[in-house]
Amino acid sequence: MIRKGLLTGPLMLLAMPSVLCAQDTQPEGYWQGAAVHAGSNMPMSLRFLNDPPGVEVDVPSQGIFGRFARSRLEAGKLLISVGRYRLALEPDPETESLRGGMQRSDAANWSAEIEFLRVPDPGTPAVTREDFLVESEDGTELAGSLILPDSPGPHPGILFVQGRSYGSRYGHYYDAVAAARRGIAGLVFDGRGVGDSGGQRGRHTLQQRLDDALAALTYLREHDSIDRERVGLFGHSAGGWVIPVVAQHAEEPVSFLILHAGPVGTVAQQQGEVIVELSRRSGELSEELLGQAHDYQKRLIELAVEGAEWEQIAEHVSSAEGQPWAGEVDRPNEPGASDLGYFRRNPHDNRTALATFGGPILAVYGGDDYVVPPAPNVARLEELLGLAGNEDFETIVFPAAGHDLRVPEDEGPPYRWAGTPPGYYDRMLDWVRVRVGL
């Protein structure tokens, strides 16, 4: 559990009496185990807490670190809910373990067996949380959380920037916790009109996104626990367009960039490539027709970015009529179409910023991502960094992962749990640790 201003790290247990709980009390201490479905394991750990009563849960493959969950006892069973998972555990005197089952709220007939054994607490690095408000350039207040290692600073830091939806801080909250456990502070914040932040959701402009990120970056750098010379930026999806431009306009050099499923180039290029990747999966269009669909979609977005009159856009849309690929592309039928408005307000293009950035860059992609396919984006990144003379970059492609950098459930055999790819946090955050001298 992580609470504002509180040290929440574990205490090493020197002895482990009363391993099993009485029927009217929850267990104590730290427990390791796994859920097993169709012969495949998902490791988990539980740390039972007294104040407030509940459980601190780690499920590394789900990107869950130190998540607080309420627990209750009912008919001799300990019931715990973590996201979509529902655990029902009871003591097994023969094995001195907690055993039971796990179900999913989104799959009525799905179940897994689960077992935990109490072990000495490994002393997971403690972190603390500080909530804050910061004012953007236009006076809009943004709310966020700074997750800090509970150890003497100053610490390096990462500012996490969301994708197109510009959603809640909790989209990358546990990424920040994972970083803090490795000695790197993580800052996350709510997008405009989301959570505790001001503004109107879904109406932001690119300039507002840049101003918001710059305000959050300034807050992070000026915090007493942060080494302002070791601060980098993480941008997921559309956030990958934002962060190089933020680095370009920041008052001090940014230590590193992480493009997390981040596009390279213009929003029109990316939208054209989405159409190609989606259509290619159906296998119904030739490469020539895919090229035509790409060119149509790219030009549509260019017209929106250029602020073209509706008559010009409508003429372009009419050119798709009767084409074999007409059902694959966007065909807005009114000037107020929401996507057109988004692209007008957010004319993303990070080419100049990347071509002038001289610091380390890590590009992380999912091999099964049709929104930001790795091949064309990596090729453009290499070309732009070549212009900058920047050779300090690395690309990681997780083969089965999608745009969210998660692998989907696969019934197999063998069964594969949905979640982060193996080595995801270690590879990404170890790269950061090296770059910031940890």
Q: Tell whether the model's pLDDT for residue 316 goes beyond 80.
A: yes
For 5: left if phi > 0, alpha if psi spans -120 to 50, otherwise beta; the answer is left
Tell me the mean pLDDT in the region 307-325: 96
What Cα–Cα distance (Å) separates residue 357 from each residue in 225, 229, 360? Answer: 26, 16, 9
Average pLDDT, the chain: 92
Residue-wise pLDDT for 169-226, tens only, equals: 999 999 999 999 999 999 999 999 999 999 999 999 999 999 999 999 999 999 999 9
Instruction: Provide the pLDDT for residue 168.
Output: 97
Residue at 149: amino acid letter: P
Burial classification of residue 63, based on how many CB atoms lie within 10 Å of its CB (0-12 exposed, 13-18 middle, 19 or more buried): buried
| Model confidence, pTM | 0.91
**CA atoms of 236 and 428, how far apart (whole Å):** 13
Instruction: Provide the pLDDT for residue 24.
Output: 61
Residue-wise pLDDT for 119-152, tens only, equals: 999 989 999 999 999 999 999 999 999 999 999 9
Instruction: Provide the pLDDT for residue 19.
Output: 44
Q: Cβ distance 235 to 258 under 8 Å?
A: yes
CATH of domain 30-118: 2.40.128
* Of residues 429 and 284, more confidently modeled: 429
Q: Cβ distance 120 to 16 under 8 Å?
A: yes
**CA atoms of 385 and 383, how far apart (whole Å):** 6
Domain ranges across the chain: 30-118, 127-265+348-435, 267-345
Instruction: Flag the least confident range among 5-14, 245-254, 283-292, 422-431.
Output: 5-14
Q: Which residues pair with 157 in a beta bridge?
A: 185, 231
333 Cβ contact partners less than 8 Å away, ≥ 6 residues apart: 317
**CA atoms of 234 and 158, how far apart (whole Å):** 7
Q: Tell whether the model's pLDDT for residue 4 goes beyond 90.
A: no
Report which DSSP code applies to 169: G
Instruction: Provide the pLDDT for residue 12.
Output: 27
Q: Which CATH class is domain 127-265+348-435?
A: alpha beta
